[in-house]
Structure 1
C-alpha cells in the first residue's frame, strides 16, 4: 500500500537504484564483531538471495585470514559483483587481485583534515596518486569505485576535482562518503548533485546523527544510483545506514525496487546470529516490535483492518504480525490470541481474562502465552492434564564435556534421558529431546535471558518461544539457576504445543 505520489516527488519511480552491501567489511568493523570465512559465506549467500547488486566481501590488506574469506566468497560465483576495499596503495590492489574479486573500492582522502593531517600529502599529490591507482586497477581489468573519504567535510570544488580526476583515469564511479556521519540532507544533496553532473556517483552514509537513511535518500534524489549499506545497520560507532531501511523506504515511499524485500528479515537474522549483535526490538523493519501490537485500540483496529496501524504488510519483508499481551491489551487482543491457541470463551469470560491480564501487566510482568492460557483455564474452569512435566533435572559443567540428565512425566509415563552439549543448558535441552523422541520435534524460535537480579542469590528470567506444526507459544520462567529456568520454560512450551495437537506421543525410541 505505497504512499500516493505527487508531482513534487524528488525520486521518480522509474529510477534504477542499486544497493552495495558492506556488512562483510564496514559492518565487521563494529566493536566486538569478527566473522569467520564460513560466516562470511553464509551471509554472502543470503545477500545473493536478496538480490543485492554489489557485495564488499572485506579488505584484502587485513591479512591472510581475510583474504581466505574473500576468496571463499568469490568462489561462490555469485550474480552479485564481489569487491574488496583498498587503501590508496598499489599493494592493496595486488592483494585484492589474489582473491579474484570483480572490483575494488579505492579509498582516498578528500578533506584537508585527511589529506594533510592523516595522509600527510597535498591536494595536488593526492590527485596524481589517485589517477595512478585507478589506472593500475583498470589495467588489471577491475571494476573500480573511488571513495572520497570524509567527503562531507571536503571543499566541494576540490571534491569535484577529485571525482573528475578519478573518472578521467578510468574509474567506473565516484563515491560521496559521509565517513563520520557529520552532515545533513541539504549538504548531501548539494554535494551529490555536483558530483552527478560529472559521472556515476554512489553514497556512503553513517548514522551518527540518526540521519543515515535521510542522507541516503537525499543522495539518491540528487542523482546517486548506488547506495552503500550494511544489514542491521552494523558499522563503526553508530553504524552505517541500514540496508533494510533504505530498501523499504525506496520501495514504499518512492516505488523504487532495489532487491527482494521478502528476504530482508531472514537476512537480518542471519547477520545477527553470525555477529552476535541482537536486533533492537524497536528497530525499523526487522525489530521484534515492528509488527507487534499490544495496545487495545491498536489491536482492535488491526484486527478489523490490517492496514489500520501498519504502513505496509509484514509479509512484504518476510515478517508475521504478532499480538502481544500486557497491561494495554484489550478484549479484542485477548479473544484473538485465545483463538490462535484454540481456546473458546464467552464474552463475560473474555472480559474477566482481559482484566486478569491487565492486573498482571500492572505488576510489571511481561504476559506470555502460557500466562494467558493459565488464566483462561482458571476463569473458564477448564482443567487440563499436562502432557509433559519436568520431574527432575541434574546438570554438570566445568569438566571436558557438560552433561545433563532429566526425568520427565510424559502422558503419565516416566522417562529418563541424558545428553551432552556445549554448555549445561545445551546439554539439558539435548536430554529433553532424547526423552521426548521424534514426535516432540519443535523449533526453538527465540531464547532470551531477560533479567538478572544482583547479589549472590541472583534470579534469572528466561523467555523462550517454541514452534511446532504452525503453532508457537511463548513462556517465561524465573529461577536462581539459568539451566533450570531454561529447561522449565522449554518443557512448559512443549507441553502447551503438544496439548494443542491433541495426539499421543510416540515412544521415545521411535
Structure 2
C-alpha cells in the first residue's frame, strides 16, 4: 500500500541533483575534524550512493586541506569534485592546482556583510563577481557562484549580481540562506523570481538556525531550483545545514522528484558520518534515527502488525532507507506487540500467560526502568516455566590494566560454544577496552550499537545499571542490561547478555 501520494505527473518525471558539503560545511561543525583517511572514505561513500557533486574542501585554508582535496580528486570518483574559493584569483588557482572538476566561488552581497566583512561597495562586488567568474571559466569547465547571505540581500541588487555571474560564465548559481532566517514562503518567492529572471541553473544552500533548512530546501526545489546542497545528518555551522536523508526522501516520496540517490544506503551513510564525527544520531531523527520506525504504543503496534501504513507514512518504508521496523517495550506496550516479539524466538504463551507477561513489563516500565529484549525473554521464561536458553558465550575471567601513564588494556577469557578463548584489546578507557576484547573473541561480525549507564543508588559504592545494544552484520539490533558496583564487570555482563540474546534469536554465531 503506497498511501497518499502528493506529487503530480509533471513532478514525477523531474530530477534534482544533490550537492553534498559534509566535507566542507559539515566539518565546520564545532568540535568536528575528520581525519585524512576518514575524509577519503566519506567521499567514496557519497559517490557510491549517487551524490552528484561533493564539496571536498576549501584548499586555500591550509596545506592539509589541499592535500585532502587532491587525494579525493585522485580517487577517480563518479561524482563531480568541487573546491571552495573566495573571490580571489589565488584561491581559485589553489583549487585548480588540486585538479577539481568545479570551482565554487563566493562573495558577500548583503549590506551587513559588505560593510563589515569585505568593506566593498555594491558596484565593487558586481565588478569582482564578473572578474572572478570569468577567471574560473578560463581555466575550468564548471563554476558555481554563491551570493553569500543572499536572503538578506536587497532582491533587486541580488538579481543584478546573479545576472553578472551568469553572463560571465557561471554554470550554476547558488542561493545561500547563510544565517537561516528565511521562511519557506519567502524562499518560494525569491527562488521563483531568480529562476525567471536569471538564465542559469539555480542551487540552494540552507542553514538550520530556526529549524527550517529542510523546509526551505524543498520549497526552493518546488520553486524551480535544480540542485540542493545538503550534509549528512545535517552537520554544519551553528545549528547545521539541510539534512541529506530528509531532503532526499521528501523529494523522492512526497513529490516524486528523482535525486539519483541509492535510498537503501541512507541509514548506512548516516551511521558512517556519526561514527567519524563523534556526533550521535538522535533516536527521533527522521528517516535514520533508531525510533524512526519503532512503535511502543499498543494501538500503534497492533496497527503496524496488521498493516504498516496505519502508523507509518506508507509511501516510505524502513526497507526503502536501509532501516528496520522495531516493536519496543514500555508502559504503553500492547499484547499484540509482545506476542509477536515472543513468537520471533519461538515462545508461544497462552492468553493468560501473555496477560501476566504484559503486566510485568508495564510494572517495570512504570518504575522508570528500561525494559530490554533480554528482560522480556526472562520474564516470559519465568511466567511460562521454561528453562533458560543456552548461552553461546560465558565469561570466565576479565583483567584490566589502567593508570595515568598506561593505555587502558583488557584481557578476557570466555567460553564460546564450549571452547575457551582469550583475547586482549586496548581502548579509550577500561570499559571500552573490555567491550572491544569481548567483541574480539567472537567469530561473527557484531558491533556495539548503544551504551548507557545510570546510577541506581547513591554514594561512592553506587550500583550502576548498564544497558547495551549490539548489532549484527544484517542490521538486527538487540539490547540487554546488567547491574553492579563494578562498572567494568557490569558492562561486560551486559555485553555478554546482549550477544547471547542475539544468538538465541538469530541462531549460532
Change (3 A) 1:136 1:323: same
Report the counterpart of residue 302 of structure 2 in structure 1. Answer: 300
- Kindly state the Cα deviation for residue 17 of structure 1 after the two structures are TM-superposed: 0.9
Report the counterpart of residue 81 of structure 1 in structure 2. Answer: 80
What whole-Å deviation, never above 9, does each CA across 1:259-280 have from its counterpart, x for those lacking one?
2211111110111111011001
Q: C-alpha distance in 2, partners of 1:229/1:452?
A: 40
Report the counterpart of residue 508 of structure 1 in structure 2. Answer: none
Q: C-alpha distance in 2, partners of 1:12/1:211?
A: 23
Report the counterpart of residue 466 of structure 2 in structure 1. Answer: 462
SS at match of 2:238: coil
What whole-Å deviation, never above 9, does each CA across 1:217-238 have from its counterpart, x for those lacking one?
2211211101111110011111
Report the counterpart of residue 431 of structure 2 in structure 1. Answer: 425
- Kindly state the Cα deviation for residue 65 of structure 1 after the two structures are TM-superposed: 0.7
Structure 1 stretch displaced more, 66-75 or 393-402: 393-402
Change (3 A) 1:480 1:157: farther
Say which of 340, 346, 350 aligns to 1:346.
Answer: 350
Change (3 A) 1:129 1:469: closer
- Kindly state the Cα deviation for residue 116 of structure 1 after the two structures are TM-superposed: 1.6
- Kindly state the Cα deviation for residue 141 of structure 1 after the two structures are TM-superposed: 1.8
Q: Give the alignment of 1:171-186 within 5 angstroms.
A: 171-186=170-185
Report the counterpart of residue 444 of structure 1 in structure 2. Answer: 447
8 Å CA contact 1:54–1:81 kept in 2: the answer is yes
- Kindly state the Cα deviation for residue 344 of structure 1 after the two structures are TM-superposed: 2.2
8 Å CA contact 1:446–1:466 kept in 2: the answer is yes
Say which of 312, 330, 337 aligns to 1:333.
Answer: 337
Q: C-alpha distance in 2, partners of 1:266/1:410?
A: 29
Q: Give the alignment of 1:29-44 within 5 angstroms.
A: 29-44=28-43
Report the counterpart of residue 375 of structure 1 in structure 2. Answer: 379
Report the counterpart of residue 494 of structure 1 in structure 2. Answer: 499
Report the counterpart of residue 145 of structure 2 in structure 1. Answer: 146
Q: C-alpha distance in 1, partners of 2:127/2:190?
A: 22
8 Å CA contact 2:13–2:258 kept in 1: the answer is no
Q: C-alpha distance in 1, partners of 2:146/2:459?
A: 51
Q: TM-score, normalised by structure 2?
A: 0.92
Instruction: Tell me how many residue pairs correspond in the alignment.
Output: 498
Structure 1 stretch displaced more, 209-218 or 371-380: 209-218
Structure 1 stretch displaced more, 393-402 or 372-381: 393-402
Report the counterpart of residue 365 of structure 1 in structure 2. Answer: 369
- C-alpha RMSD of the superposition: 2.3
Q: Give the alignment of 1:82-481 within 5 angstroms.
A: 82-197=81-196, 198=198, 199-258=200-259, 259-311=261-313, 312-384=316-388, 386-387=390-391, 388-398=393-403, 399-408=405-414, 415=420, 417-423=422-428, 424-432=430-438, 438=443, 441-451=444-454, 456-457=460-461, 460-467=464-471, 472-481=477-486
Q: C-alpha distance in 1, partners of 2:181/2:275?
A: 30
Q: C-alpha distance in 2, partners of 1:265/1:430?
A: 24
Structure 1 stretch displaced more, 179-188 or 452-461: 452-461
Change (3 A) 1:102 1:450: farther
Q: C-alpha distance in 1, partners of 2:129/2:507?
A: 70
Mark the runs of 5 or more structure 2 residues left unpaired by the alignment: none
SS at match of 1:12: helix
Q: C-alpha distance in 1, partners of 2:507/2:241?
A: 49
What whole-Å deviation, never above 9, does each CA across 1:390-433 have from its counterpart, x for those lacking one?
3443212125443323454667x694735131342344245435
- Kindly state the Cα deviation for residue 498 of structure 1 after the two structures are TM-superposed: 3.8
Structure 1 stretch displaced more, 355-364 or 491-500: 491-500
- Kindly state the Cα deviation for residue 354 of structure 1 after the two structures are TM-superposed: 0.7
Mark the runs of 5 or more structure 1 residues left unpaired by the alignment: 506-510
Q: C-alpha distance in 2, partners of 1:501/1:107?
A: 53
Q: C-alpha distance in 1, partners of 2:213/2:416?
A: 53
8 Å CA contact 1:442–1:466 kept in 2: the answer is no
Q: C-alpha distance in 2, partners of 1:283/1:124?
A: 44
- Kindly state the Cα deviation for residue 385 of structure 1 after the two structures are TM-superposed: 5.9
Q: C-alpha distance in 2, partners of 1:469/1:430?
A: 16
8 Å CA contact 2:446–2:473 kept in 1: the answer is no
Q: C-alpha distance in 1, partners of 2:218/2:118?
A: 31
Q: C-alpha distance in 2, partners of 1:500/1:15?
A: 44
- Kindly state the Cα deviation for residue 5 of structure 1 after the two structures are TM-superposed: 3.6
Change (3 A) 1:468 1:118: closer
Change (3 A) 1:115 1:474: same
- Kindly state the Cα deviation for residue 499 of structure 1 after the two structures are TM-superposed: 4.4
Q: C-alpha distance in 1, partners of 2:158/2:74?
A: 36
What whole-Å deviation, never above 9, does each CA across 1:76-102 have from its counterpart, x for those lacking one?
111111101111211111111121111
Structure 1 stretch displaced more, 98-107 or 297-306: 98-107
Structure 1 stretch displaced more, 267-276 or 12-21: 12-21
8 Å CA contact 2:449–2:471 kept in 1: the answer is no
Q: C-alpha distance in 2, partners of 1:6/1:262?
A: 21
- Kindly state the Cα deviation for residue 455 of structure 1 after the two structures are TM-superposed: 6.2
Change (3 A) 1:70 1:485: farther
